[in-house]
Amino acid sequence: MLQPHRVVIAAFSGVELLNVTGPAEVFSVATRVAGTGRPGYTVRIATAEGEPVVTSSGIRLMADLTLGEVNGDVDTLLVSGAVRVDDDGVEPVLHSGIIDWLQEAAPGTHRLGSICSGAHLLAAAGLLDGLSATTHWRTAARLAADHPRVTVDPDPIFIREGRLWTCAGIASGMDMALAMVTEDYGPELALATARTMVMYVKRAGGQSQFSVPLALPADPGNRIDDLRMWIGEHLTENLSAEALAARLHLSVRHFSRLFQRRTGATSTAYVESVRLEAARQLLQDSGHGLPEIAALSGLGSVESLHRSFRRHLGTTPAAYRRRFR
């Protein structure tokens, strides 16, 4: 009789509730969907002394065991994170007890992962040195600054480097857990689990933490923001810097300065990113061929579509469609 895949989630006071319960629920539902003929998962929550922890939402989580009781039989060890928010911004909480424990427990674990700012704990334990990792976009710059030996990418919802997994946290922890189910038991069980949970099953590691049009909230009445909304609705039109500047009755130089100050990007780069986002959605949700998608997204030609995908996503449109559709 095969033994269930043993998952342990390390937690401490202040963690986001969904960082713990989201992946736990994915593994639990996968076990129920798999039925009695497959081993599925057991999920346990571990805290420093086996004490209950109060999450950031104020809801208490009960622990199943202490960190010291976590032995070498663990198949997947996940570390949730916590942040402090004050006037200076968002700061990850570094739990010294968990960092020390990780240095001892990690070598005997088959698969190790972090959820949200838990990546800061893995990095502090030296487990991410020389690897690529992600975390929630609000603490990604801090992770990169504190750990220069870690290649931090704030965009993907999760990254896998061998047995090490990191994710953006909160809802993306569930996406990462689904990917783990796929690795353990195949895509059919992962798909059935996602359907049971009414999850958006198309998201995978390469997906962005947020789409380009939503990356910067719009300020009603701001001329640049109004233009950004117009761009999203007129992708097939001439969206050169000259044409956009003329639309606002500004010189190209003045327009370019205002646009970059507001968005942090040139208008050319912004337009390409919005068109790329539109192409991604068309590849996922429609049956259009590549020439039609290139035209509808405003990228123009299949050659331009390929160049944009390779430059920004490191893949081809056809490969992207196979992966996410």
How many domains does one find in the chain? 2
In a domain, 205, yes or no: no
Nearest Cα to Cα of residue 8 among 105, 97, 78: 78
Burial of 14 (0-12, 13-18, 19+ CB in 10 A): middle
pLDDT value of position 236: 94
Pair type for strands 83-86 and 151-152 = unpaired
Q: How many CB atoms lie within 10 A of CB 42?
A: 16
Q: Kindly report, residue by residue over 190-225, the tens digit of the pLDDT.
A: 888 988 998 755 455 555 555 555 455 556 678 998
pLDDT value of position 208: 58
Q: Low-confidence residues of the chain, pLDDT below 50?
A: 202, 214
* Same domain for 87 and 17: yes
CATH code for position 43 = 3.40.50.880
Q: Kindly report, residue by residue over 49-90, the tens digit of the pLDDT.
A: 999 999 999 999 999 999 999 977 799 999 999 999 877 778
pLDDT value of position 202: 46
Burial of 324 (0-12, 13-18, 19+ CB in 10 A): middle
DSSP H or E run through 79: strand 76-80
Yes or no: say if 125 and 117 are a contact pair by the CB < 8 Å rule: no
* Same domain for 176 and 230: no
Alpha-carbon distance of 10 to 53, in angstroms, equals 11
* Same domain for 85 and 188: yes
* Same domain for 236 and 162: no
* Same domain for 239 and 179: no
Cβ-based neighbours of 97, under 8 Å, separated by 6 or more: 12, 48, 67
pLDDT value of position 101: 95
